[in-house]
């Protein structure tokens, strides 16, 4: 797709990857309807691209928030690209995480994304070429200790992307699933970033992720996995999960130590 021809609805636009995507899309000529719960973060970007960026404050977990987005998309003459980048994360062993955090993560990462996509599909199908971009995670393919709920949501998003792509195979709408590795964003706690440093995990800047996503959109790809050796471990986990089990078991004491320090309580 040519970015200059794109009318993009971008959720999670004030987040690390979302904000980088908003800037990259505007810089390359796309029209962007940027949806966020924190509009102040987009003020500078709006000043720089007043003709390209339109801000919309909406809580996608609520039906009225999703309706606001649908109404705004119609008022802007429709969209041909939907980028589902809204999401939350929490680094915690399962027994350290509260019910409210589980509910919030699943409500935004899965429930809101599926319902908003369903609502916007009629607009996308009206286009000569439409695209749904779902920003997932490497943890949508590898279950990782300390991220059980987040992994559950991203595994679900990957399955949704695959199924939806096949549902739309005879239409003009494609689905791109994006799986970044660890990324330097405010969504990751200091404990999570400290754990990554301890384990020498590669961490990408959001701007690099955004550029890779833009390239995938331009090339009309269906999947994008970022990072090495993460891409290798995704394939290994699919074929020989026992090897990954043993490798991660060696890291488990370190993961538990950082999680306990962050949450102030030991994992049993």
| Look-up of token digits 């027994």 | 95
Q: Based on the residue annotation, tell me whether 150 is a catalytic residue of this protein.
A: yes
Of 228, 192, 226, the closest CA to residue 210 belongs to 226
DSSP-assigned letters across all residues of 17-76? HHHHHHHHHHHTT-EEEEEES-GGGGHHHHHH-TTTEEEEE--TTSHHHHHHHHHHHHHT
CA distance 217 to 81: 9
Cα distances (angstroms) measured from residue 244 to each of 116, 237, 240, 250 = 35, 6, 7, 10
CA distance 95 to 267: 7
Sign of CA dihedral 134, 138, 140, 144: negative
User: Given 139, 147, 150, 225, which residue is catalytic?
Assistant: 150
CA distance 75 to 202: 42
**Strand 7-11 versus strand 223-225 pairing type:** unpaired
CA distance 143 to 9: 30
Q: In what order do the strands lie in the sheet with 223-225?
A: 53-57, 31-36, 7-11, 81-84, 130-135, 173-179, 223-225
Which residues are part of the catalytic machinery? 150
């Amino acid at each position: 797709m040519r970015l200059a021809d794109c009318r993009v609805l971008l959720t999670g636009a004030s987040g690390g990857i979302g904000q980088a995507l908003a800037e990259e899309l505007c810089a390359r000529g796309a029209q962007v309807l940027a949806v966020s719960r924190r509009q102040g973060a987009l003020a500078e970007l709006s000043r720089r691209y007043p003709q390209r960026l339109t801000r919309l404050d909406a809580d996608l977990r609520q039906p009225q928030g999703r309706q606001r987005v649908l109404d705004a998309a119609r008022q802007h003459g429709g969209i041909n690209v939907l980028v589902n980048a809204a999401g939350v994360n929490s680094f915690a062993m399962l027994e350290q995480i509260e019910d409210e955090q589980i509910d919030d993560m699943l409500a935004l990462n899965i429930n809101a994304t599926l319902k908003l996509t369903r609502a916007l599909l009629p607009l996308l199908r009206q286009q000569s070429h439409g695209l749904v971009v779902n920003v997932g995670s490497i943890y949508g393919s590898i279950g990782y200790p300390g991220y059980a709920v987040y992994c559950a949501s991203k595994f679900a998003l990957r399955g949704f992307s695959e199924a939806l792509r096949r549902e739309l195979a005879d239409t003009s709408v494609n689905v791109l699933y994006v799986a970044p590795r660890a990324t330097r964003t405010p969504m990751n706690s200091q404990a999570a970033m400290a754990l990554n440093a301890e384990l020498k995990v590669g961490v990408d800047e959001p701007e690099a992720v955004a550029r890779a996503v833009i390239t995938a959109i331009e090339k009309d790809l269906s999947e994008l996995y970022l990072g090495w050796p993460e891409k290798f471990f995704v394939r290994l986990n699919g074929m020989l999960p026992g090897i990954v089990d043993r490798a991660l078991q060696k890291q488990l004491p370190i993961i538990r130590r950082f999680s306990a320090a962050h949450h102030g309580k030991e994992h049993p």
